[in-house]
């Protein structure tokens, strides 16, 4: 880390595409990888921009824009979620597709990285409008996706139901039932048992190993979670089941805090109510600023929302022993350097949230075989893959006296490079 000397940069670069390029350069330098290899890795292979019309409930037609980025397919078809969010940009989608390549490689899933996004705020739309946006986007990207090409999945503000509609649109266009085109589907359409909880469950397996590394018990460990959606909310439940005390959670509206531990059932109930919000929880208090959650005195901090939340501005305030990145790209390189110097163990996104893509891979394998596994089998295989990957990364980090993120990148870059060499690309 010290060679990066990034803290001296006065202006922090928050462009995720440039951040991932910095991360690749840093790990590539430690590995001694050739510039030719790094040049390939630092750009996606293909980025598709689409615009498509959607009929709205009031009879008007609205044009939506979106992207699909495919980073590198040396090891297998590209794979990665689709997000619906008003702040989706091409650079964000490119960066997310690159993180997916490294994520798949670090946990030994035979895929390259892909990612997609539609610029929209789904909260503004009816269910019917969301269905038409989902189908419209799939139709627009159908030429470049497919079970052997590029396989989308859920991400921020997209759901199993949305995956179901997209699978249906693709299957109709191709004239054949094609469950393997997308993962994170409802069970009845070939979804995998355990997929909904997989990102959170995988993150819990990584946290358990990290706590063992620090010689700390899970029982009684305090946890703050930013983001209370698929990843954050399920993580709260799973960690609470391990005896952890969830003291703070936040969503896009506010952060709530109760040092004695939140009543999760009550908070979840409020989150599900159309007319209520987590800030109505009578047993906790609302933090002055939602981002204050990040600086709470806790054992485990889990960013589970969006990118660039731990930055040069607030990294010094982080007091947790472990930062488990359920979200993609929550920590900037400058903040990473500060956390490393403070001795905080950061479980990097490409490892910590890889449970989602691992079980998406299992889902795809089951779809191709048309033979389905029990939840125990899925969770057992997930645990095995997460625990093994954590220890590979941790061992390499110790050898090179570096942080887990750099070690994770080193492992993935080595694997992708070997595949590119074997294919004769370099
Ligand atoms: P989600 O849509 O289910 O939930 C997102 C949550 O973040 C919501 O609770 C929302 O209120 C909250 N949020 C939005 N803006 C916020 C803000 N400014 N501050 C605090 N909270 C905010 O999405 P998700 O699937 O849980 O994804 C969350 C993160 O996890 C993303 O970075 C995503 O890329 C990553 N991830 C998800 C999966 C998956 O399988 N779902 C897999 C790997 C990584």
DSSP 253-300: S-EEE-TT---HHHHHHHHH-TT--GGG-TTSEE-SSGGGGGGS--SE
**Ligand 1 and 164: CB distance under 6 A:** no
Q: Whose CA is nearest to atom 23 of ligand 1?
A: 156
Residue 287 Cβ contacting ligand 1 at under 6 Å: no
Please name which of 352, 345, 313 lies closest in space to residue 329, comparing C-alpha atoms.
352
Which residues of the chain fall short of a pLDDT of 70? 1-10
Residue 180 CB less than 6 A away from ligand 1 = no
Mutate to test the pocket of ligand 1, among 114, 306, 350 (most ligand atoms within 8 A of CB): 306
Q: How far apart are CA 294 and CA 320, in angstroms?
A: 9
Rounded to the nearest angstrom, the gap between the alpha carbon of residue 323 and the centroid of all alpha carbons in its chain is 14
252 Cβ below 6 A of ligand 1:
yes
The number of angstroms, rounded, from the C-alpha of 169 to the middle of its chain's C-alpha atoms is 25
Structural element, H or E, at residue 137: helix 127-141
Edge to edge, what strands does the sheet with 46-55 contain?
A: 46-55, 61-72, 112-119, 78-85, 150-154
Instruction: For residue 379, give the nearest of 233, 198, 154, 231 by alpha carbon.
Output: 198
Ligand 1 pocket, residue 403 CB under 6 Å? no
pLDDT tens for each residue of 204-235: 999 999 999 999 999 999 999 999 999 999 99
CA–centroid distance, residue 324 to ligand 1 (Å): 14
Q: Which of 304, 311, 356 to mutate to test the pocket of ligand 1 (most atoms within 8 A of CB)?
A: 304
Decide whether any atom of ligand 1 lies within 6 Å of the 157 Cβ: yes
357: tokens are: 């893509």
CA of 306 to the centre of ligand 1 (A): 6
Which pair of tokens denotes residue 314? 């607030």
Strands 285-286 and 255-257: what pairing?
antiparallel
183 lines ligand 1 (CB under 6 A): no
Q: Which residues contact 220 (CB under 8 A, 6 or more apart)?
A: 243, 244, 245
- 245 catalytic? Reply is no
Taking CA atoms only, the protein residue closest to ligand 1 atom 35 is 327
Substitution candidate for ligand 1 out of 156, 201, 202 with most atoms within 8 A of CB: 156
Do the Cβ atoms of 68 and 298 come closer than 8 Å?
A: no
Catalytic residue among 103, 115, 185, 245: 115
Q: Which atom of ligand 1 is nearest to the CA of 96?
A: 34
Q: Cβ of 327: how many Cβ atoms within 10 Å?
A: 26
Ligand 1: centre distance to CA 84 (Å): 11
276 bridge partner residues: none
Predicted local distance difference test score (pLDDT) of residue 13: 85
Which atom of ligand 1 is closest in space to residue 349's alpha carbon? 44
Residue ranges with strand state E in 312-381: 322-324, 345-347
Å from CA of 423 to ligand 1 middle: 36
Q: Which atom of ligand 1 is nearest to the CA of 306?
A: 32
**Binding site membership of 21 for ligand 1 (Cβ less than 6 Å):** no
Complete domains list, the chain, with CATH: 44-191 (3.40.50.10860), 196-352 (3.40.50.720)
Q: Where are the beta strands (DSSP E) in 305-355?
A: 322-324, 345-347
Q: How far is the CA of 201 from the centre of ligand 1 (A)?
A: 15
């Amino acid at each position: 880390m010290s060679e990066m000397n990034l803290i001296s940069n006065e202006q922090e670069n928050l462009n995720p595409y440039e951040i991932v390029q910095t991360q690749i350069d840093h790990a590539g330098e430690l590995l001694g990888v050739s510039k030719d290899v790094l040049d390939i890795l630092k750009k996606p292979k293909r980025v598709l921009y689409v615009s498509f019309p959607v009929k709205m409930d009031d009879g008007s037609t609205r044009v939506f824009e979106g992207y699909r980025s495919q980073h590198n397919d040396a090891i297998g078809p590209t794979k990665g979620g689709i997000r619906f969010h008003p702040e989706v940009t091409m650079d964000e989608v490119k960066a997310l597709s690159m993180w997916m390549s490294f994520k798949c490689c670090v946990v030994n899933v035979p895929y390259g990285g892909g990612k997609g996004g539609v610029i929209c705020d789904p909260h503004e739309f009816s269910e019917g409008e969301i269905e038409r946006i989902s189908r419209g986007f799939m139709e627009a990207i159908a030429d470049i996706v497919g079970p052997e090409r590029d396989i989308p999945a859920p991400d921020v503000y997209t759901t199993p139901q949305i995956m179901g509609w997209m699978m249906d649109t693709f299957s109709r266009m191709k004239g054949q039932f094609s469950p393997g085109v997308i993962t994170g589907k409802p069970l009845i359409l070939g979804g995998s048992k355990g997929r909904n909880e997989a990102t959170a469950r995988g993150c819990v397996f990584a946290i358990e190993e990290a706590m063992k590394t620090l010689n700390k018990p899970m029982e009684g460990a305090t946890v703050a979670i930013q983001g209370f959606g698929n990843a954050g909310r399920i993580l709260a439940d799973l960690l609470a089941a391990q005896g952890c005390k969830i003291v703070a959670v936040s969503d896009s509206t506010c952060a709530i805090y109760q040092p004695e531990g939140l009543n999760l059932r009550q908070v979840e109930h409020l989150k599900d109510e159309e007319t209520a919000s987590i800030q109505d929880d009578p047993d906790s208090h609302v933090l002055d600023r939602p981002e204050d959650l990040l600086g709470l005195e806790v054992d485990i901090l889990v960013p589970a929302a969006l990118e660039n939340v731990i930055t040069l501005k607030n990294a010094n305030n982080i007091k947790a022993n472990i930062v488990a990145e359920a979200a993609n790209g929550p920590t900037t390189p400058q903040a990473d350097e500060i956390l490393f110097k403070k001795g905080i163990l950061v479980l990097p996104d490409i490892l910590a949230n890889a449970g989602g893509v691992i079980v998406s891979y299992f889902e795809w394998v089951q779809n191709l075989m048309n033979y389905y596994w029990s939840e125990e089998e899925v969770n057992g295989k997930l645990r095995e893959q997460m625990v093994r990957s954590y220890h590979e990364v941790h061992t390499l980090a110790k050898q090179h006296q570096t942080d887990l993120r750099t070690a994770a990148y080193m492992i993935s870059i080595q694997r992708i490079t070997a595949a590119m060499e074997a294919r004769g690309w370099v």
